[in-house]
Structure 1
Amino acid sequence: MAAAGMDSSPQNSSSTGRSSAVDSALGSLALEDENPITPIAAHGDLVLHIEHEMVGSRAHAGFRVSTAALKQHSRYFERLLQAGRFGEGNAVEALQRVLREQYQSLAEAPASELPVIRVQDVGRISVVKSFTTLCADFLYILHGRDLQTLPPVTNLANLTIVADRFDALEVVRSYVGRKKILRTIDGKTTAKADGALSEEKVRQRLLVAIMLDHPPWMERYSARLIVKGWVGREADLSSPLWWDLPSRIEEELAYRRECVLETVQSLQSYFLGVYASRERQCKLGYDSSAQCDSYQLGEMVRFFVRCGTLKLQGGVIDINEPTEPFAGDATFLLDTLRQVPEYQIDRHHSHCGIRTRLLPLLDLVAECLLHIGICTACWTDAREQYEWMDARKPLLWKRQDFALRTQGHGNKHADLRAMFTATERDWGS
């Protein structure tokens, strides 16, 4: 079958100068559906037909576009339409040559006679209300045209997925930056609304930050995923891409979350260890007593068990299933530990327990969580030195050597990683 709207008979071919070889090559490109063609470039020289498998259906959309614009801003289309490389490029060039002989300009040719290129699959997008609108927004940007409205974050995330699919992120990144779209979204989002964002909304913002290189969103929302515990699940390849973040970021976030929980647990282990040791912890001076330490140890164990951070079991044989990691907000976990009372064996033994020693350490961990997100510059320019997953763990980290606020940018990242990934931690001052 020839291109839509053109007769494939030998007589017609000879009258227009089109060879039967061109007819044959364009047969698979013909537009066979009845969907209207959206004019992205009113005088375009190509019809782009896009198909995508949706949930329970297949979406179609056709667009009149400019070959030059596609090739200029999309490496995918540059390769596809390059003459001599793929059959599609050769066929398109051949029919366009024929149409130039028939019309003074390709702008005069009706869309029904233009060559048609079919592409399938626009990437792991979500279900959208209008597939045509999504593809049109992408093509408008490729053709240097402005979008009619400010895209919501979900639309913007889907748009970046489409741009990534067709290797055209650079032009979308440039457009979004030039139009200050992300800054405008931030300006319209109150602090309360931002704090109440669902996991999916946070992930959409983080995907946009990754794809479009927006450091503020990258650090802010990657930290939120870590702290909230919204990481570590097995990826579903049928879900939108933001549920399986690219560039190994999903794995990095899950690992950082694991390190945070292990660090918080090490606080509990540290105090259990020092109160169970022979070193006296009672603060009464000359009258300090082992009985006070034993009392504090017992109350400490009871508190940790009651708040769910400690589980007692026998050591002769393990008959229990492994405990699932804490799945909630890490700040809630820290607040739970802050509720530890100041136990006193009698009125003379003040500050012998862990409360006055634990609270400053919990504050330190909470402050470090503010900086636990992924730094775009370091992740891009020095990933091997910056990432946590494959870094060598320090054998011992000491609280007395740690000074977060006085560190420079690179040293702060390194010291944070050392604290959260250390094999052992000495929380003593």
Structure 2
Amino acid sequence: MAQGAIEHQDAPVGPRGCNASEDNITNISETGDLVVHFRHNFQERIEDHAYRVSMDALRNASPYFENLLHPDKFAEGAAVETKQRTLRKAYGSVGNALTAELPSVDILDIGRISKVKSVRPLISDFLRIIHGQNPSSGPPPIANLANLAIVADRFGVIPLVSAFVKRKKYMQAIDARTPDKKDKSTPEEKTRQRLLVALLFGHSGWIEKCSLRLILKGWVGHEPDPSAALWWDLPLRVEEELLYRRECVLETIQSLQSHFLALYTSRERQCKLGYDSSLQCDSFQLGEVLMFFLRSGTLRLQGTLFDTAEPPEPFAGEIADLVEALRRCPEYQIDKNHTHCGLRTRLIPLLDLVEAFLQDAGVCGDCWQSNRAEYAWLDAKRPLIWRRSSIGLRSVQTPSRGIAVHEAKHRNVREFFTAVERLWTAPDG
């Protein structure tokens, strides 16, 4: 779940005494009327950073602070109101008071950010954005931007921070610093950071690109670690969605070998050349198909009388490597007359079809944000059967034109990968 949901039971510990040194307080607003202490547990020590801020700026930007500082909802808000009333009588305006005299509150949780040397720059930039100011530095690295998104989500300030980030074109700046060659070798953590930023700030281009990379690389399905940064356990059910999509892709590829094994063990003659060796050709091809899949590591044989084998672990490698391994299937022939009787002639066109569908197996950012319930694979009803005759390779590669075509493309891809059964045989046999 995203961290921005407000729970009234999770109020920070209440107002602190007014004995803080002004030297240790960062002025976000010179005339601010509140001091906020952000406390962060870092490597078994507590960081405590204080900021002079405008209470109105916090409450207007953040539902979290609106609830916390409301005088009728929490003791913190009531105590702050009482103290500010006293300062108004003394100074005419709370903004004229010394920083050390201002009321103060503690914040004990800033969200599931990564380990950083200090949270001071992060919180400073976050508060400056809320106050309509520019951060102290230019476009941040992707890790810093992801941490900023986590903090913004924690306090319910995503719309405001997202608008700022888009206005400053931070994502475009990061893309400009990442050449295509380097982009292809981006490690998992940076890919996840980009995807989290894209999900929270609504950057559709990164959502589709990064989600597909995570699916194909096998970078999904990690055991959740509550202490790890949020991008290691993507919110909004995205982690579960990506894992399910990868499982569907692997099941689809596995169904190819099941299809050919079923063909060559059926009573139907596969070799149709009409020569005397047709039956022998089928037997020969069955043996070669079994040896190829066994040697590829995609198939194992086991008895059914008494099963002592442990279920295999799901394929953890890169799907592109898996498809390439299947493409290396030789063209076996029992003799010179039986050209193209083997597995390769039939398998390669189906692998082409799988690869064409794979191009669109990532999460479409626009559809995920606007129509998630209808678009997601995770909750969709699986079609009982998919037929090769229902859609051709040309239809898969047709560019989307208009909403109806765009949605139809997504539906075709989902039905292909989530079908309970697939009929791979072409209409002409």
Q: Are positions 1:215 and 2:208 aligned together?
A: no
Residue 203 of structure 1: CA displacement? 0.8
Which residue of the other structure, out of 103, 108, 122, is the alignment partner of 1:120? 108
What does residue 10 of structure 1 align with?
Answer: none
Residue 225 of structure 1: CA displacement? 0.8
Q: Are positions 1:157 and 2:149 aligned together?
A: no
In the alignment, the residues of structure 2 paired with residue 161 and residue 28 of structure 1 have an alpha-carbon distance, to the nearest angstrom, of 25
Range with greater deviation from structure 2 (262-271 or 283-292): 283-292
Question: SS of the residue aligned with 1:273?
Answer: helix
Deviations 1:31-54 (A, max 9, x none): 566671011112211111111222
Q: How many residues align?
A: 404
Which residue of the other structure, out of 14, 30, 34, is the alignment partner of 1:46? 34
Question: SS of the residue aligned with 1:258?
Answer: helix
In the alignment, the residues of structure 2 paired with residue 202 and residue 318 of structure 1 have an alpha-carbon distance, to the nearest angstrom, of 41
In the alignment, the residues of structure 2 paired with residue 53 and residue 194 of structure 1 have an alpha-carbon distance, to the nearest angstrom, of 33
Residue 288 of structure 1: CA displacement? 6.0
Range with greater deviation from structure 2 (409-418 or 383-392): 383-392
Which residue of the other structure, out of 381, 384, 387, is the alignment partner of 2:376? 387
Q: Are positions 1:419 and 2:416 aligned together?
A: yes
Question: SS of the residue aligned with 1:29?
Answer: coil
Question: SS of the residue aligned with 2:227?
Answer: coil
In the alignment, the residues of structure 1 paired with residue 171 and residue 127 of structure 2 have an alpha-carbon distance, to the nearest angstrom, of 20
Q: Are positions 1:333 and 2:325 aligned together?
A: no
What does residue 396 of structure 2 align with?
Answer: 404
Q: 1:21-170 maps to which residues of 2 (within 5 A)? A: 28-30=15-17, 36-147=24-135, 148-170=137-159
Range with greater deviation from structure 2 (406-415 or 209-218): 406-415
Residue 255 of structure 1: CA displacement? 0.7
Residue 285 of structure 1: CA displacement? 4.3
What is the one-letter code of the residue matched to 1:184?
A: A
What is the TM-score normalised by the length of structure 1? Answer: 0.91
- Gaps spanning 5+ residues in structure 2: where? 1-12
What is the one-letter code of the residue matched to 1:167?
A: G
Deviations 1:313-336 (A, max 9, x none): 112121100000100001110000
Partners of 2:14 and 2:76 within 8 A in 1 = no
What is the one-letter code of the residue matched to 2:425?
A: G
In the alignment, the residues of structure 2 paired with residue 153 and residue 112 of structure 1 have an alpha-carbon distance, to the nearest angstrom, of 36
In the alignment, the residues of structure 2 paired with residue 392 and residue 85 of structure 1 have an alpha-carbon distance, to the nearest angstrom, of 44
What does residue 171 of structure 1 align with?
Answer: 160
Identity within the alignment, %: 53
What does residue 360 of structure 2 align with?
Answer: 371
- 1:27/1:216 CA distance change after superposition, 3 Å: closer
Range with greater deviation from structure 2 (324-333 or 91-100): 91-100
In the alignment, the residues of structure 2 paired with residue 285 and residue 229 of structure 1 have an alpha-carbon distance, to the nearest angstrom, of 46
In the alignment, the residues of structure 2 paired with residue 285 and residue 73 of structure 1 have an alpha-carbon distance, to the nearest angstrom, of 78
Range with greater deviation from structure 2 (283-292 or 317-326): 283-292
Range with greater deviation from structure 2 (400-409 or 197-206): 400-409
Deviations 1:69-124 (A, max 9, x none): 10111111111111222222222222222222222443332211111111111011
In the alignment, the residues of structure 2 paired with residue 89 and residue 392 of structure 1 have an alpha-carbon distance, to the nearest angstrom, of 48
RMSD: 1.7
In the alignment, the residues of structure 2 paired with residue 84 and residue 411 of structure 1 have an alpha-carbon distance, to the nearest angstrom, of 51
Partners of 1:283 and 1:350 within 8 A in 2 = no
In the alignment, the residues of structure 1 paired with residue 316 and residue 261 of structure 2 have an alpha-carbon distance, to the nearest angstrom, of 23
Partners of 1:50 and 1:61 within 8 A in 2 = yes
Range with greater deviation from structure 2 (83-92 or 136-145): 83-92
Which residue of the other structure, out of 286, 290, 294, is the alignment partner of 1:305? 294
In the alignment, the residues of structure 2 paired with residue 131 and residue 340 of structure 1 have an alpha-carbon distance, to the nearest angstrom, of 54
Residue 380 of structure 1: CA displacement? 2.7
In the alignment, the residues of structure 1 paired with residue 412 and residue 396 of structure 2 have an alpha-carbon distance, to the nearest angstrom, of 8
- Gaps spanning 5+ residues in structure 1: where? 1-25
